[in-house]
Amino acid sequence: MNEHTAVTRRRVLRGAALAAGVAALPAGARRAGAQAKPTISYWNGLTGADGKVMDELIQQFTQETGIRIEQQRIPWADLYAKLQVSVPAGEGPDLALIHTIEVPHFASDGVLDAIADGAVAGKGFRADDYLPSTWQGGIYQGKRYAIPLDVPQHLLYMNVKVMREAGLAGADGKPKVPGSKDELLAMAKQMTKGDGFGFAIGTLNPGKYTWGFQNLLWQNGANVYTPDLKRSALADPAAIEAAEFFGAIHARDKVAPPANANCRDAFIAGKLGMWIAGSWNFTGLREAKVDFAVAPVPRIFKRPIVWSMPHQFTFPRPKAADAARRDAAWAHVRWMSDHVAEWTLKAGQISARRAPHTDPRITGDPVLKTLLAQAPNWQGGQPTPKWVAAENLTRPVIETIYIGQKPARAAMEDLARQINALPE
């Protein structure tokens, strides 16, 4: 080996290492050197375990694209109030994640920018790639305002230890799944003793959990508004029947925890047997190492409807258009849509995009598989700007039913009157 050859090899190796190093740099970082990338603001209500997952994904997005995101995680109700106040003042975010039911009133109030069909197609978003209900949820009065991300939904969680102790598990240790309202109540009574409860709907404050109440309404063929959205349907017999069940589980049968209980903590502490709650809870339960099983939301009334409420990406209207920031916001929506399988696996939310639904990592997970299987029974809120106001009015009224302060019929008639009196 002569010196000349050795030096040449070293040079070659150095050159190769340098080239490899440059190639290994994220594409975004290389571009960032040439042109500064904008920093965008992004508001969402992912305050649970899913928020940490979003943090990780945003970090990955920034590494890959060079676009920085200033994220604000705010409880949903406060987020919506803040959006309504901030956007008209020109202080809104570049990107906001909201629930589908919020689209109509934010769109009608001019809080959201409409998205041109050309822009949607130009960014590579196609209706065929999405579940139809989620894609339709982004449209209000013929205009698109949102791009769907995922489908938070209800699920039946069963505490294996509690159910086994109550003799409600098979020989294989698997808990029994209730098949009807009567069976559910009988099983719940079997598990209720001392400070433990057999059944609950809702995470915090089950007495005013409107999303659980809506699930019961929908299972019984009832709804908040009539199909033409002109008046409230909550005084109809089917709605009253659902309300009577809502009151019976706590006020009459005492199988559900008090109106202000923290059901998640109770479930983790082994003081709750069966629990209908949001899909966003299951990754937290796994972290807490709770021995639990899941099943589709049981059929309590006529149809096994499952409450769902897709999250949608929206672009709040800025004071002055900024193409670079809007492009950066679009880049994040595109990136999240392309990486939504990671979101599903880590945050536990089934994607609105169909492609990840065949991902073996998702179909192989028993909880995600159950969530996917519920798809034919998903139902969401009605597309009216008054939906959210009606929901706010519903909260205290159903609580009076839950605690037995007011009979279901009188409470529902009063609620329907209040909703009908909502101004245009």
Partner 1 sequence: MRRLTPYLFLLPGLLLFGLFRLYPLLDGLRLSFTNARLGRAQYAWVGLANYERLLDDTRFHTSLWNTAFYTVASTLPILAIPLVLALALNRRIALKTFLRSAFFFPFTLSVVTVGLTWLWLLDPVVGPFNYYLRSLGVPARSWLADPATAMWAIVVTTVWWVAGYYLVIYLAGLQDIPRELYEAAAIDGAGGWTSFRAITLPLLRPVLLFVFVTHIIGSFQIFGQVFILTQGGPGDATRTVVQHLYETAFQNFFHFGSASAMAWVLFAVIVGFSLLQFRLLRGHTEY
Q: How far is the CB of 347 from partner 1 (least distance, A)?
A: 24
Beta carbon nearer to partner 1, 183 or 414: 414
For residues 96 and 367, the answer to whether their CB atoms sit within 8 Å is no
Complex with partner 1: residue 27 or 422, whichever CB lies closer = 422
Phi, psi angle pair for 69, to nearest 5° = -125, 125
Please report, as ranges, the residues that interact with partner 1 according to CB under 8 A. Answer: 77, 81, 84-85, 87-88, 109-111, 195, 197, 205, 207-208, 257-262, 265-266, 269, 271-272, 389, 392-393, 395-397, 399-400, 403, 405-406, 422-423
CB of 181 to partner 1, least distance (A): 24
Strand residues in 292-373 grouped as ranges (E)? 292-295, 306-307, 311-314, 350-351
* Beta carbon of residue 208, minimum distance to partner 1 (angstroms, whole number): 6
Q: What's the closest the beta carbon of residue 345 comes to partner 1, in angstroms?
A: 30
The answer to whether the CB of 174 falls within 8 A of the CB of 181 is no
Q: What is the smallest separation between the CB atom of 261 and partner 1, expressed in angstroms? A: 5
Identity of the residue, 149 or 419, whose beta carbon is nearer to partner 1 in the bound complex: 419
Query: Is 188 exposed, middle or buried (CB count within 10 Å of its CB: 0-12, 13-18, 19+)?
Result: buried
Question: Smallest distance from the beta carbon of 405 to partner 1, in angstroms?
Answer: 6
In the bound state with partner 1, the residue whose beta carbon lies nearer, of 42 and 197, is 197
Contacts of 146 (CB under 8 A, 6+ apart): 98, 100, 103, 112, 115, 137, 138, 312, 313, 314
Task: Report CA-CA distances (Å) from 135 to 104, 128, 261, 358.
Answer: 14, 9, 35, 19
Cβ proximity to partner 1: between 259 and 293 the closer is: 259
Are the C-beta atoms of residues 318 and 94 closer than 8 Å to each other? yes
At residue 139's C-alpha, the angle toward residues 133 and 144, to 5°, is: 130
CA–CA distance, 146 with 348 (Å, rounded to integer)? 21
Taking the C-alpha atoms of residue 169 and residue 151, their distance in angstroms, rounded to an integer, is 30
To the nearest whole angstrom, how small is the minimum distance from the Cβ of residue 400 to partner 1?
4
Specify the residue, 235 or 272, whose C-beta has the smaller distance to partner 1. 272
Tell me how far apart the alpha carbons of residues 416 and 354 are, in angstroms, rounded to a whole number. 38
Which among 313, 282, 306, 286 has a CA at the least distance from the CA of 150?
Answer: 313
Give, to the nearest 10 degrees, the angle between helix 237-247 and helix 210-219.
130
Q: Which residue, 212 or 348, is less far from partner 1 as judged by CB?
A: 212
CB closer to partner 1 out of 77 and 127 = 77
Query: In angstroms, what is the minimal distance from the CB of 327 to partner 1?
Result: 27
Minimal distance, residue 322 CB to partner 1, in Å: 22
Q: What is the three-class DSSP state of 41?
A: strand
Place of tokens 């920093």: 39
Pick 133 or 205: Cβ nearer partner 1: 205
CB nearer to partner 1: give 25 or 81.
81
Min dist CB 212 to partner 1, Å, is 16
Q: Please answer whether residues 308 and 153 qualify as being in contact, where contact means their C-beta atoms are separated by less than 8 angstroms.
A: yes
